[in-house]
Amino acid sequence: MSETHAKPRLLTPSRPVGIVGYGAYVPRYRLPAQEISRVWTGGMGGTPIQEKSVPGPDEDTATMSIEAARNALARAGDVDPAEIRAVWVGSESHPYAVKPTSTIVAEALGIVPYTQAGDWEFACKAGTEAMVAAMGFVGSGMADYALAIGMDTAQGRPGDALEYTAAAGGAAYLIGPAEEALAVIEGSLSYVTDTPDFWRRAYQKYPEHGQRFTGEPAYFKHITSAARAFFEVTGTGPQDYRFAVFHQPNTKFPTRVATSLGFSREQFETGLLVPRIGNTYSGAAIIGLSAILDVAEPGDRILMVSFGSGAGSDAFGLRVTERLPARRQRAPFTQEYIARRTEIDYATYARWRGKLVLK
Amino acid sequence: MEISRHWRLKKQRYALIGEVCPHCEAKIFPPRDVCPECGDEAKTEFAFSGRGKVYSYTTVQNAPQGYADAAPYTVALVQLDEGPMVTAQLTDLGSQKVEIGMPVEMVTRRLRSEGDQERGMLVYSYKFRPAEFQRLAVAAD
Amino acid sequence: MDIIIAGIGQTPVGEHWELSLREIAFHAMQEAMREAGELKPQALYVSNVLAAQLSGQAHLGTLLADFAGLRGVEACTIEAGGASGGAALRAALQAIQAGHVDTALVVGVEKLTDKIGPAVENALATTLDADYEAVHGLTPTAQAALLMQRYFHEFSPPEYALGGFPLIAHAHGAGNPNAMFRKAIKESLYQRAGMVSAPLNMFDAAPDADGAAAVLLARADLLPPDLPKPPVRVVGSGAATDTLAVHDRPDPLAFRAARLSIERALHQAGITRQQVDFFEPFDAFSIYAALSLEAAGFADRGQGWQWAQEEKIGLRGELPMMTMGGLKARGNPWGATGVYQVVEAVLQLRGEAGENQIPNARVGMVQCLGGPASTAITHILARD
């Protein structure tokens, strides 16, 4: 196959934009990987993470998005919800197949009725897809604020390798004018090809995946290509960023990709949450970003690269403003969500996640 | 199907939107057209903070139809900081023991499926969980 | 105008799988009409809560008038949750007092066994506030448990303080041939009972069951001299409401409507509560019995539990209560319950209560509640 002739181009809106408010959400229940291993491999198999977050029986992508969005608005200063012109929820676990999650979120936040509302799907990068769209929406001047959310309650087939990591959580980002931002978005760049590494056909409960094919041709190829192109068009390199965060389906992948791009552990460990909460799919990269924003200082630059199977990556460069340190106090920190923890066993998990045959 | 009766209450159910009496300042939830304190007409919207305390609680073992998936679940009378009391489920209790007087905060959660468990419309509502993040509760006071 | 109860009828309370709603209702109506001899009802008031939901049957007034051979009389259903029986009796009294009719038949009927499973819980929960209580998964039992939990928190009675109410009710039920449970229970059984909705255990809740009871009312001045049974007069009637949802009350442990209805009934009867010889409370839950005693003024606030003992409310006690087993042992056939209470009080006043007879019973007070006194209706009955 020949190399493409296309040239990367940085996506920057004519009107500078940034993150005006952000908020994370992680359910409080945890299923240790060792507990899954106990059931399926007699406790003998290796485990890709320590434990994963599990949504409570009354939680779904809509309820979790509402809490994350409430946190984002709490940090957004005096933004009137009625001034928000888009609510976009990226997820592969929307509670309905047809009927928007976003209208539920918009209603709960008081953003209705003069708003766009829509659900996005691009496996694990549906959330960053919504963020890029929000940049364009605000950057064009069509709107002052747009809310982009990435949230999932991911499911893996019982006994499958994915069951160890398929977790629940995510984050919400209110995108607005750069002059009000807690972190200015310096630009973004996407890298997308048709690569079937992971999918779920219509009406199927659990996804299929290409096992080792999900690695090199999918995850590593897309994240690396997006990051390298981003460095090229922005004239930056790993040394220019205090923090970096990548899609985190397990502990190994993001660690390896970060290292290969030239980042040190110090740069990527703040956003590396997967060992303690699992892979939150559409929420995975952006909840890493929220953990970084919880501690970053004015002037810090942050690189975020998402990955969605199917496949593609969105790279973002951000620069923290002096508004962040005071404003972030107004909502729970990502690590506070992670610290509240109730361990459950596999039986409880199986009941809550609809894995028992009741009829 | 009972879509309309849930749909028309969505503001109060999702976000605890009640009323404040323009005459005597009483905070009212659920919204009613006559102020229970002074008897005058009250229709001004008021968003409750969602913070409150457990007034009483119990655990339901014999759940009605539509609630069996969640049983046993805990229902409480919650005294909101602004005054009114509401009946609501407690959630995210984990292994935490509920106590009268325990501070709680509102969350929006899935309450039930209307009609068929797999196919029906989802009903979302306020529930309360033990107050978390004391740092924020203190800051808000 | 004096109004008397000229006839009473009741079916045993229980699971009447083989009988339909109209059949059990007719059984009670027929008995009441037979007792009243020549007096024929000119109106029929049916007390029922659940037939539309559990039997798919509304329009009971016409159905039962027709089935009982009363075609042509005016008839309708009266519904006020658990207080329906009292409400139907009161409607009949009002119709006679207003001069619209000279006689009226009241029948309370409930048929719970036409549906099986959690649909019954849903039907019972319709007596709560649907949008603000029942939607949250609350049931009448859970609601009573909320009150019980709070009661123990505020007043710190001993752990099994309310157990005396069901124990005494069961002891009394043993002497009532129409009671669902006719066996005394031991205190240890109460203490070991499984939780229905903690802290409320299975003995703190009366069993819901099928049943029908009827009374025939007539103007006293129209009584034939050869009336087969000694007449019992209805000397006081009082009704009151509170908020439907418990959470809307400034003090959920005050049964305000229960107090108001008693005050109104006593006032009409021209007596004080000290002149009442026995009290039939609405003991759908043990906690209701305690709160009703407090509302009535027999006990101070937070002290109602101290009445849960034989010397106080036994058949030879200071104020006999639940004399035929109460809701706990006789059973709680919702719409019929308020009428059963009246029928049982009439048996006491006539001296026909058999082994449960209270000596010298002259004035009885009967109270039925819709929910936790969301509706309360009290009647005072007296023998001449």
For A280-296, b where at least 16 C-beta lie within 10 A, e where not — what string? bbbbbbbbbbbbbbbeb
Cross-chain residue pair C136–B111, CB shorter than 8 Å: yes
User: Residue type at C233?
Assistant: R
Measured in degrees and rounded to the nearest 5, phi and psi for residue A34 equal -65, -30
How many beta-carbon pairs below 8 A join chains A and B? 62
pLDDT at B138 over 70: no
Measured in degrees and rounded to the nearest 5, phi and psi for residue A101 equal -70, -35
Q: What is the pLDDT of residue B2?
A: 87
Query: Of B68-72, C168-172, C366-370, which gets the smallest average pLDDT?
Result: B68-72
Cross-chain residue pair B62–C137, CB shorter than 8 Å: no
**Of A51, A92, A129, A186, which one is the catalytic site residue?**
A92
Q: What pLDDT band is residue A1 in, cutting at 50, 70 and 90?
A: very low
Measured in degrees and rounded to the nearest 5, phi and psi for residue C82 equal -65, -15
pTM of the model: 0.96
Chain C closest-CA separation from residue B26 CA (Å): 13
B66: chain C residues, CB-CB within 8 Å: 122
Q: What pLDDT band is residue A153 in, cutting at 50, 70 and 90?
A: very high
Calculate the CA C167 to chain-centre distance: 18
Q: What is the pLDDT of residue B137?
A: 66
Chain A closest-CA separation from residue B55 CA (Å): 23
Q: What pLDDT band is residue B120 in, cutting at 50, 70 and 90?
A: very high
Q: What pLDDT band is residue B141 in, cutting at 50, 70 and 90?
A: low
CA torsion B44→B50→B51→B56, rounded to 10°? Answer: 100
Query: Is any Cβ of chain B less than 8 angstroms from the Cβ of C1?
Result: no
Q: What residues does C238 pair with on adjacent strands?
A: C378
Q: How far is it, in rounded angstroms, from Cα C215 to Cα C348? A: 15
Residue with tokens 């106990």: A38
Cross-chain residue pair B15–A110, CB shorter than 8 Å: yes
Q: What is the pLDDT of residue A159?
A: 92
Cross-chain residue pair C142–B111, CB shorter than 8 Å: no
Q: What is the pLDDT of residue B129?
A: 97
Q: How far is it, in rounded angstroms, from Cα C312 to Cα C298? A: 11
Widest pairwise Cα distance in chain B: 47
Q: What is the pLDDT of residue A3?
A: 59
Cis peptide before B36 (omega within 30 of 0): no
pLDDT at A15 over 90: yes
Chain A closest-CA separation from residue B72 CA (Å): 12
C198: chain B residues, CB-CB within 8 Å: 58-59
Give the residue from chain A lying closest to B108, CA to CA.
A63
User: Residue type at B98?
Assistant: V
Nearest to C160 by CA among C350, C24, C7, C290: C290
Check for a shared fold between C3-117+208-222 and C129-205+232-383.
yes
Widest pairwise Cα distance in chain A: 59
Q: How far is it, in rounded angstroms, from Cα A144 to Cα B55? A: 43
Q: Per-residue pLDDT averaged across C19-43, rounded? A: 96
Nearest to C265 by CA among C307, C296, C230, C221: C296
Q: How far is it, in rounded angstroms, from Cα A37 to Cα B103? A: 38
Q: What is the pLDDT of residue B37?
A: 87
Q: Hey, which residues 308-337 in chain A have their CB within 8 Å of chain B?
A: 329-332, 336
Residue C226, classified by CB atoms within 10 Å of its CB into exposed (0-12), middle (13-18) or buried (19+), is exposed
Topology annotation, domain A187-326: Peroxisomal Thiolase; Chain A, domain 1 (3.40.47)
CATH of C3-117+208-222, one of 3.30.565.10, 3.40.47.10, 2.60.40.1260, 2.60.40.10: 3.40.47.10
Query: Of A107-121, A295-309, B34-48, C90-104, which gets the smallest average pLDDT?
Result: B34-48
CATH code of the domain occupying A17-182+333-349: 3.40.47.10
How many beta-carbon pairs below 8 A join chains B and C? 102
- The pLDDT > 90 percentage for chain C reads 95
Residue with tokens 């008693």: C262
Chain A closest-CA separation from residue B11 CA (Å): 7
Per-domain residue ranges of chain C: 3-117+208-222, 129-205+232-383
Cross-chain residue pair B91–A342, CB shorter than 8 Å: no
A67: chain B residues, CB-CB within 8 Å: 107-108
Q: Per-residue pLDDT averaged across A28-45, rounded? A: 93
Q: Hey, which residues 21-60 in chain C have their CB within 8 Å of chain B?
A: none
* Tokens (6 digits) for B86: 């509401």
**Of A51, A59, A124, A222, which one is the catalytic site residue?**
A124
Cross-chain residue pair B62–C196, CB shorter than 8 Å: yes
Taking the alpha carbons of C249, C251, C253, C256 in that order, is the dihedral positive or negative?
Answer: negative
Q: Per-residue pLDDT averaged across C64-82, rounded? A: 97
Query: Is any Cβ of chain A less than 8 angstroms from the Cβ of B15?
Result: yes
Query: Is any Cβ of chain C less than 8 angstroms from the Cβ of B115?
Result: no
Q: What is the pLDDT of residue B46?
A: 95
Q: Do chains C and A touch (3 or more CB pairs under 8 A)?
A: no
So what's the ipTM on this one?
A: 0.96
Q: How far is it, in rounded angstroms, from Cα C186 to Cα C174? A: 13
Give the residue from chain B lying closest to A63, CA to CA.
B109
Alpha helices in C200-333 (DSSP H): 256-269, 286-296, 310-313, 326-330
The answer for B24, left when phi > 0, alpha when psi is -120 to 50, beta otherwise, is alpha
| pLDDT (tens digit per residue) in C285-309 | 999 999 999 999 999 999 999 999 9
Task: Supply the DSSP symbol for C343.
Answer: H
Per-domain residue ranges of chain A: 17-182+333-349, 187-326
Query: Is any Cβ of chain C less than 8 angstroms from the Cβ of B87?
Result: yes
Q: Tell me the average pLDDT of chain A.
A: 96
pLDDT at B140 over 70: no
Topology annotation, domain C129-205+232-383: Peroxisomal Thiolase; Chain A, domain 1 (3.40.47)
A247 as an active site residue: the answer is yes
Q: Per-residue pLDDT averaged across A122-137, rounded? A: 97
CATH number for the domain including B10?
A: 2.40.50.840
| pLDDT (tens digit per residue) in A277-315 | 999 999 999 999 999 999 999 999 999 999 999 999 999
| pLDDT (tens digit per residue) in B11-62 | 999 999 999 999 999 999 999 888 988 988 888 999 999 999 999 999 999 8
Q: Hey, which residues 244-263 in chain A have their CB within 8 Å of chain B?
A: none
- The pLDDT > 70 percentage for chain B reads 96
pLDDT at C67 over 70: yes
Distances (CA, A) of C239 to C85, C87, C366: 12, 8, 12
A24: chain B residues, CB-CB within 8 Å: none
Q: Tell me the average pLDDT of chain C.
A: 96
| pLDDT (tens digit per residue) in A159-209 | 999 999 999 999 999 999 999 999 999 999 999 999 999 999 999 999 999
Domain containing B8 equals 3-140
* Total domains present in chain B: 1
Neighbours of B1 (CB within 10 A): 10
Cross-chain residue pair C247–B100, CB shorter than 8 Å: no
Query: Is any Cβ of chain B less than 8 angstroms from the Cβ of A58?
Result: yes
Measured in degrees and rounded to the nearest 5, phi and psi for residue C237 equal -145, 130
* Tokens (6 digits) for C214: 């009827």
The bridge status of strand A145-153 relative to strand A168-177 is antiparallel
